[in-house]
Amino acid sequence: MRAAELAKMFELEDTYWWFVARRELVRELVLHYGARASDLTIIDVGCGTGATLAALDDLGMAVGIDRSPQALHYCQRRGLKRLLLATAEALPLGSQVADVVLALDILEHIRDDGATVRELARLLRPGGLLIVTVPAVPELWSEHDEALDHLRRYRAKRLRHILARAGFRIEKLTPVIALLLPPIAVLRLIQRLLPRRRGSPETAFIVPPRPVNWLLTTLLRLERYWLRHFPLPVGVSLVAVARRS
């Protein structure tokens, strides 16, 4: 991720509705599907600026890995210490060392996503969990994706395929952020119709007023409650929980 986008992420990650909702969802999934939830070894591959890693630190030993020294510097500013500089394609850890591996919005950055999922599987003990999030709906492709150095957006079929080929048993795979799909789709359409700005592409993080940010966060908490019982038909992102055989 580009330096300017990492700085923006660090500034927004603690409060911005999208980051808050993803972090709360991931923590709930770890607690629901993970065994020995008070003594887990969790590896967050592509940990970014560290807010999710910090939110899981009380569940055991949480380790953050990122390919960006700047990202790890932001993690250190949060007080995080168990950090490694590495790429997801070649992780400097032994096999079967983790109970939970997180791959949150990283696969879309990697050309050979299938090989990367197999590398993530290598880290997990038998029965261990992989939690993946990726951007969904290829038709939403925009300057936002380019600014984040995405190579693709996913359909559920592709994500299911690469997880199954890596030997995972999929326990949950569903779209998320369904309620915001219509306004985001309209925003992306408007962006395509407007003249393209000169210079580097920029993300579409629109920081709303505090009450609107609270409302969006609350809506996604309600969506998370729904997801405890039912999948969603559509959504801006996909989340998968997969168990290593």
CATH number of the domain enclosing 67: 3.40.50.150
The runs of H, that is alpha helices, within the chain are 3-12, 17-33, 51-55, 69-77, 113-123, 143-147, 156-165, 181-193, 210-227
Residues in the chain, overall count: 245
Number of domains in the chain: 1
Full domain range(s) for residue 50: 3-244
Give residues with Cβ within 8 angstroms of 159, minimum separation 6. Answer: 107, 132, 134, 173, 238, 240
Q: What is the pTM of this model?
A: 0.93
Alpha-carbon gap, residue 188 to 198, rounded angstroms:
18
Query: What does the pLDDT read at residue 200?
Result: 64
pLDDT of the chain along its 245 residues, tens only? Answer: 677 778 888 999 999 999 999 999 999 999 999 866 678 999 999 999 999 999 999 999 999 999 999 999 999 999 999 999 999 999 999 999 999 999 999 999 999 999 999 999 999 999 999 999 999 999 999 888 888 889 999 999 999 999 999 999 999 999 999 988 998 888 887 777 777 666 666 666 778 899 999 999 999 999 999 999 999 999 999 999 999 98
